[in-house]
Structure formats: C-alpha cells, structure tokens
Amino acid sequence: MDDSARGGRRKSVGGRLAGRAALVTGAASGIGLATVHRFVEEGARVAAVDLDAARTAEAVAGHDSVVVLGADVRDSAQVDAAYASALAEFGRLDIAVNAAGISGVRADICDLTDDDFADVIAVNLAGTFYSVRAAVRAMRGNSPSGGSVVNVSSVGALANFPLPAMYPASKAGVLGMTRAVAALVAPDMIRVNAVAPGATDTRMLPQDGEIRRAVVELGVLRRAASAEEIAHTILFLASEESAFYTGQTLSPNGGYVMH
C-alpha cells in the first residue's frame, strides 16, 4: 500500500535535497512550516523543531520523513537535545534552518521594558546562536561534505521597518553572526547564509492596520510574500545550487529595498 492509499502524503524519492537530513526551527507555522514542506518535497528528512510541538505535529501530519521535536530555542540545553535527537534519528545532519522568531510588543521606545527588549533578543538572536553552534558541532563530523546553515533575519535588518528597536537589532545581529560564523567554518565546508524576508503572510504579520499597510506598500510589488515564496529562497541556500554562497544575505522583499 502506498502513502496516498493510507491517506498520507507521498514521500519524495528524488529531488534537490535527496538523501539530506535537515533541522528546521520555528516549524509549527509560517516560514518554518513552509520550509519543512518544501524540503520534504525535495527528498529531505526533516527534524521539525518548535516551542509548540503539538501544533507542529498537527501541521506535518502524514509526512513519514518528518520527526517533530519540542524545544524552546531560548534554552541552549533544549536546542542541544533537539540536535542530539535529530542526529540519533538520521545519523547525520546536512542542513539547519533557524526560523524561530518573535516580533515582540509594539510600543513607543519610552514604554518598552527591559524584559520586552530581552525577550526578543533571547529568541531571535541568542536562540539563533544556540542553534548555529549546535549545527556546526553536528556538521563538522560530515567532512568532506560539510553542510548548510540558513538563518532567517528580516528586511528590518537592512532598512527602516516599523517595529520597535529590539526586533531590527536582533535581526541585524543575526546578519553579523552569519558573516562571522561563515568565515570561521568555511574550512569545514560548512556554508552559513541568511534570508532577510520582507512582509510575509504568516501569523506574525497583522492582517490589517497601519503596520501592514506600511510594510506592504513600501515594497514596489505592493503585496506581502507567501511563506512558500520565502521557503523557495531558503531551499536554494540549503541546496548545492548555492554552493558558492557563504556569509551572504538574500532578501526576498518585493522591492522594499533596492541596492
């Protein structure tokens, strides 16, 4: 009996990531979830990691090649445990995507508390660091094939963006870290790149109101991206098609920023 006869999804046997093992954080929804689906379509086995394991399990139900792991990226021990589980399951790790993130409270700078600032940095910057470190530890054992790490930043790291200071600060930090680690791990054949999406239709983007209008209308395409459109860029950076890219930022942003 094949997968479709059991009511499940078909497992891809070929594809651009055939034989690869990946770990994706922020996998319960939005860009992380779209990335999990895209990777599976391209033949990868995927560890789908999120704070909300139940929502992740529901979202990826039917995929034989996905393992769901609950972890809070603010806690390095939980991140390390998720990588250990993925390695135990797959025997190797080739790709890591760091999409877990929060936008934080929206308030005037004078009303932001220390905790408001620290919360966003803990998830978006420290959480990404813990995951990058665990990914490098796992991939160094792959020599000579190495691996690919993709960090999800934001167009808010590249240009003015209507969110409080800690969000663009965290996402600019991700870009700095991406370049620093890329240089350090290049001898291990591990590539580290970033994606800096513009407005993308996920739970994070308000469905209406001033913020949505501002971010959508500043892009010359005058629309938000779908999560799948961002996953296409992540797939490119994860695959061997981007073999000459490291320390780079690709920004699918609908013309919000033009260099």
Ligand X SMILES: NC(=O)c1ccc[n+]([C@@H]2O[C@H](COP(=O)([O-])OP(=O)(O)OC[C@H]3O[C@@H](n4cnc5c(N)ncnc54)[C@H](O)[C@@H]3O)[C@@H](O)[C@H]2O)c1
The answer to whether residue 37 forms part of the interface with ligand X (CB under 6 A) is no
Does residue 50 interact with ligand X by CB under 6 A? yes
Q: Pick the piece of the chain touching ligand X (CB under 6 A) from 9-17, 48-56, 86-94, 243-251.
A: 48-56
Residue 157 CB, nearest distance to ligand X (Å)?
9
**Which distant-in-sequence residues (6+ apart) come within 8 Å of 209 by Cβ?**
none
Q: Give the number of other CB atoms < 10 A from CB of residue 121.
A: 17
CA atoms of 4 and 219, how far apart (whole Å): 40
Q: Which residues contact 207 (CB under 8 A, 6 or more apart)?
A: none
Q: Is 205 in the site for ligand X (CB under 6 A)?
A: yes
In terms of CB distance, is 239 or 249 closer to ligand X?
Answer: 249
Question: Going by DSSP bridges, is the β-strand pair 190-195/95-98 parallel, antiparallel, or unpaired?
Answer: unpaired
Choose among 20, 13, 2, 21: nearest CA to 67: 21
Out of 152, 218, 231, 235, name the contact with ligand X by CB under 6 A.
Answer: 152
For strand 225-226 and strand 21-25, is the pairing parallel, antiparallel, or unpaired? unpaired
Per CB under 6 A, the list member of 131, 200, 242, 249 interacting with ligand X is 200
Q: What is the closest distance, in whole angstroms, from the C-beta atom of residue 171 to ligand X in the complex?
A: 7
- The set of catalytic residues is 167
State the residues that interact with ligand X by CB under 6 A: 25-26, 28-32, 50-52, 72-74, 99-102, 123, 127, 152, 154, 197, 199-200, 202-205, 227
